[in-house]
Amino acid sequence: MKFRSTRGLEKDIASAQAIINGISKDGGLYVPDGFPKVYDELKKDTKIQYEDLAFRIINEYFTDIDDEELMGAINSAYNDRFSVEVKNNFLELYHGPTCAFKDAALLFLPQVMKRAKKICDVKEDITILTATSGDTGKAALEGFKNVEGFKVVVYYPKNGVSTIQERQMSSQEGNNVKIVGIKGNFDDAQTGVKEIFGDDDFRAGLAQKGYILSSANSINIGRLVPQIVYYFYGYFNLVNQGIIKKDDAINVVVPTGNFGNILAGYYAKQMGLPIDKFICASNENKVLTDFFETGVYDKKRELVLTESPSMDILVSSNLERLLFEASGRDTTVVSELMKDLNTKGAYEVNEKIKSFIKEFYGNFADAEEVYVAIKEVYEKENYLMDTHTAVAYVVKKKYVEETKDDKPALILSTASPFKFPRSICNALNIDVEGIDDFKVLEKLSTNTNNTIPSSLSTLETAKVLHDEVWDKSEMKDALLSYLK
């Protein structure tokens, strides 16, 4: 398997090199040359362990990493650190060290990157740059901390993450980590990181000093591929529970910000998994809802700070990979669209792409609908879901009402409700006025009889180790100050 850029400059790139590079030289994203059809083989054993399933799927893409090394990376990432559970059609992806679905990919990425570094004979330290809307940052820090040969710098919007998310990052231990708050929103942080990657002179200067840059955002193919695994795992769980029969089609419902998670589901379908409709759920930042309705992607709008902050995004980077497939892999079309987005702040796709994206349904949920859903599901099913999962739940209901398509659907549950305890308490009418978020955790636990995840229960007393705040225009300076 080889990889190529969505914008056409690079092709025939081996996976190890694509993982190390993070982003292509032309600013495009790496995509595989094809999608191996493995579902018919994999469905023979629906009770397969998660680690074994991960090996079977990832091994189809990262073919230049030998089997023993790849299995070692998977075991180091997941054994006793991460698990996936399916409850009430919710695919719970947050049973990892940071209580968010990002663990699925970001525990694996450092392990595979370490091996890719060896294959590519990279002697220098690699500095991982990441922008986060809340969850990616902590998961990257947790995955890469103390991994030899790597440094990690995470940028986050100072007033754009929850108190719990911020403390998770600011208390991060490790001899190779740096967290920088910026005065701006997530899109400012993401744009700043992309600009650093796109500044050849700046990168050349760093390289002379022995620093190579790479990314842990889902623009890195090493982060995207492991996310394919849990769609297969979730599907097989529905089979094992008797909710569906083998080969039955399902819909998937994904709370979506940067589009990487739902794109991994699309890749799973290309590998043969029987997924019918992709239900793309947004919060009030409904740029994707509007895109799937009209074929126009327009980021020229105010970013709304919501109670599902990991989705407070106006530029969904991974959509570029879908446009590549939708255009018939036409790199000229993709390059033009991305140029329009950068220069005009918007683009409109052609009729061919508009027809292609009908596989996707987009809608959004506002704050009130999210609260109602959290309360409704808790009271009816005694099931506690976080704000992002609630967005997905609301949009799934809207889809069924609109289309009357009520086939079984897998709803991706992307974070523990304890990451956003104040929002959940407010939704459940638990009075938390005037008490801090760490005490709110305890109140949510007591009132719902749910246990606080151990990694969150000690946060209140965790020492703040990182408290730097820089202007969004100073992201390069912040990086240089860390690298000295």
Residue 118: its pLDDT value, please? Answer: 95
Domain count, the chain: 3
Per cent of the chain over pLDDT 70 is 100
Smallest CA-to-CA distance from 390 within 90, 12, 77 is with 90
CA angle 206-317-402, nearest 5°? 170
Under the banding of pLDDT at 50, 70 and 90, the label for residue 134 is: confident
pLDDT in tens, 149-191: 999 999 999 988 888 999 999 999 999 999 999 999 988 998 9
Q: Is 362 exposed, middle or buried (0-12, 13-18, 19+ CB in 10 A)?
A: buried
Smallest CA-to-CA distance from 312 within 113, 87, 135 is with 135
Under the banding of pLDDT at 50, 70 and 90, the label for residue 216 is: confident
Residues 307 and 184 in one domain: no
Residues 264 and 364 in one domain: yes
Under the banding of pLDDT at 50, 70 and 90, the label for residue 244 is: very high
Under the banding of pLDDT at 50, 70 and 90, the label for residue 135 is: confident
Catalytic residue among 102, 151, 178, 299: 102
Q: Is residue 240 part of a domain?
A: yes
Domain that holds residue 425: 419-452
Residue 229: its pLDDT value, please? Answer: 97
Higher pLDDT, 217 or 181: 181
Q: Is the pLDDT of residue 398 over 90?
A: yes
Rounded distance between C-alpha atoms, residue 32 and residue 12, angstroms? 10
Is residue 123 annotated as a catalytic residue, yes or no? Answer: no
Rounded distance between C-alpha atoms, residue 95 and residue 431, angstroms? 27
Residues 198 and 162 in one domain: yes
pLDDT in tens, 296-325: 999 999 999 899 988 999 999 999 999 999
Do 47 and 54 form a contact (C-beta atoms < 8 A)?
Answer: no
pLDDT in tens, 186-210: 889 989 998 998 898 999 999 899 8
pLDDT in tens, 346-356: 999 999 999 99
Q: Is residue 296 part of a domain?
A: yes
Q: Give the CATH number of the domain where residue 189 resides.
A: 3.40.50.1100
Amino acid at 35: F
Q: Is residue 75 part of a domain?
A: no
Residue 136: its pLDDT value, please? Answer: 87
Q: Is the pLDDT of residue 222 over 90?
A: yes
pLDDT in tens, 458-482: 999 999 999 999 999 999 999 999 9
| For residues 328-356, average pLDDT | 97
